[in-house]
Amino acid sequence: MIRIVVILVTALLLGLALSQGIHYDLGYIRISLGNYLIETNFWVGLVLLVALVLLILAAVWLIRRLTRQTGLVAGWLAQGQKRRARRRTTEGLLALAEGNWPHARKKLEASADHADTPLINYLAAAQAASEAGDHDAVDELLRKAFESTPGSDLAVGITQAQLQLNANRLEQALATLVRLRKQAPHHPFVLKLLKTVYLRLEDWKELSRLLPELRKRQLGEDGELDRLERMAWHKLLQRAADECQRQGNQDLTPLTRLWDKLPGSMRRDEHTIRVYAELMARAGDEAQAETLLRKVLRNHWSDQLIHLYGRICGTKPDEQLLAAERWLQDRPNNPELLLALGRLSLRNELWGKAREYFETSLHLRRSQETLAELSRLNAHMGEEEASMRLLMQGLVKETGLPELPMPKA
């Protein structure tokens, strides 16, 4: 109310001042420009000048208003594009989850430019293209993903390696992962993917080199890593033994050299010792295998190693038998040791002692292997009936025949 009163009072004062001015003197203004002449009194000229200034101010205001309205329209249009991109992205992800690869790729790729996270769109579209078997499209979409988001090279590379693995493109996956490891040497997921690639490529040498890093970073259960390490070294030992056989001589240098390279934990592992001893014996050096097994068994007992020890023929069978009989003093009821002693007795042509060992082992544990050994020995000693009875017992047990009435002899 006060503002209105002030405006009215001001307008009245201005009108009064203008009236007095006109009454006092009209004044005279003359403007000449080329062939044009403008003449008027001072007060009319003043009104025209004020009107011109107001017109210019109105034009400036209108231009600003129109510019602001254009920005608002552009912003509204941009928001509409983003909303459509979000909807299409959601539809694409749903199609991807449902296994509709062409539809998923189309929706995700089309909405990538206006999506909040274009990297996600391109990576998901690449996955859909990979599932559809279009590997050229995969590479193109991954390139767009890399260009869409600065600093995404590691994420794009890992996705690329995964898609290559899923498509069984193992060599390409290996090349990708080797490049990523140079970029991020200790990245846990890169190391895990490398493990998978080496396993599928059966690259045991590289896997054996990678496993210490996996163990150091705790990237896997200890039991799983132990199993993988054992398998890798066993495969390498087998490969070295095959190389010795291809050379066609008794030189076991490739095999023994590899054994010296094994980690200490593997050279103390009874499974690995057994594999190494078996390979040496198979390659013709049973004496060295027997020496190794005797040394190990003296300090670390193992049923599977004593089983192998009974199968190997050393250079001195009598000393081999004596060594095993010394172990029997501490393990009188070990059926595996008794089986080995029976076989070692046979090597020394101690038939009665061998049969006694076999019978004692069989009494402690019904083993098909022990039954077969005792049956074979009885047959060669002229006791065919006892041999046949043992064979029949083993056959019945092995096949699981039910208890049924039988005719009496």
Give the amino acid at 131: E
Share of the chain above pLDDT 70, in %: 79
The predicted-structure confidence for 157-187, as pLDDT tens digits, reads as follows: 999 999 999 999 999 999 999 999 999 999 9
Q: Given this model, what pLDDT does residue 161 score?
A: 95
Two tokens at 37?
A: 């002449």
Compute the average pLDDT of residues 8-28. 64
Residue 277 neighbours by CB distance under 10 Å: 24
- CA atoms in the 13 A half-sphere facing the CB of 204: 16
Supply φ then ψ for residue 58, to 5 degrees: -65, -40
The predicted-structure confidence for 235-292, as pLDDT tens digits, reads as follows: 999 999 988 887 765 678 889 999 999 999 999 999 999 999 999 998 888 999 999 9
Query: Do 372 and 394 meet the contact criterion of CB atoms below 8 Å apart?
Result: yes
DSSP per-residue codes, 8-66? HHHHHHHHHHHHHHHHH----EEEEETTEEEEE-HHHHHHHHHHHHHHHHHHHHHHHHH
More confident residue, 182 or 13: 182
The predicted-structure confidence for 115-135, as pLDDT tens digits, reads as follows: 888 888 889 999 999 999 888
Share of the chain above pLDDT 90, in %: 47
The predicted-structure confidence for 103-119, as pLDDT tens digits, reads as follows: 888 888 888 887 888 88
CA–CA–CA angle 270, 274, 277 (5° rounding): 135
Instruction: Assign a CATH topology to domain 130-217.
Output: 1.25.40
Domain definitions of the chain by residue range: 130-217, 315-398
How far apart CA 60 and CA 68 sit, in angstroms, is 12
Q: Given this model, what pLDDT does residue 290 score?
A: 95
Q: Given this model, what pLDDT does residue 77 score?
A: 46
Task: Note whether 130-217 and 315-398 share their fold.
Answer: yes
- Residue 159 CA, chain-centre distance (Å), reads 11
Supply φ then ψ for residue 33, to 5 degrees: -140, 105
Instruction: Assign a CATH topology to domain 315-398.
Output: 1.25.40
Alpha helices in 99-169 (DSSP H): 101-110, 118-131, 135-148, 153-166
The predicted-structure confidence for 356-394, as pLDDT tens digits, reads as follows: 999 999 889 988 888 888 888 887 777 777 667 766 666
Q: Given this model, what pLDDT does residue 27 score?
A: 64
Compute the average pLDDT of residues 301-314. 94
Q: Given this model, what pLDDT does residue 103 score?
A: 87
Give the amino acid at 332: P
Tell me the pLDDT of the chain averaged across its residues.
84
Query: Do 376 and 387 meet the contact criterion of CB atoms below 8 Å apart?
Result: yes
Q: Given this model, what pLDDT does residue 15 score?
A: 65
Please list, in sequence order, all residues whose beta carbon lies within 8 angstroms of the beta carbon of residue 111, skipping any fewer than 6 positions away.
84, 85, 86, 88, 89, 92, 121
Q: Given this model, what pLDDT does residue 200 score?
A: 96
How far apart CA 122 and CA 134 sit, in angstroms, is 14
Report the candidate in 241, 291, 296 with the shortest Cα–Cα distance to residue 267. Answer: 296
The confidence band for 74, taking pLDDT boundaries of 50, 70 and 90, is: very low
The confidence band for 26, taking pLDDT boundaries of 50, 70 and 90, is: low
Report the candidate in 113, 116, 106 with the shortest Cα–Cα distance to residue 86. Answer: 116
Please list, in sequence order, all residues whose beta carbon lies within 8 angstroms of the beta carbon of residue 121, skipping any fewer than 6 positions away.
89, 92, 108, 109, 111, 112, 115
Alpha helices in 262-367 (DSSP H): 264-267, 270-282, 286-299, 303-311, 317-330, 335-347, 351-364
Two tokens at 24?
A: 């006092």
DSSP per-residue codes, 179-232? HHHHHSTT-HHHHHHHHHHHHHHT-HHHHHHHHHHHHHTT-S-HHHHHHHHHHH
Q: Given this model, what pLDDT does residue 245 score?
A: 80
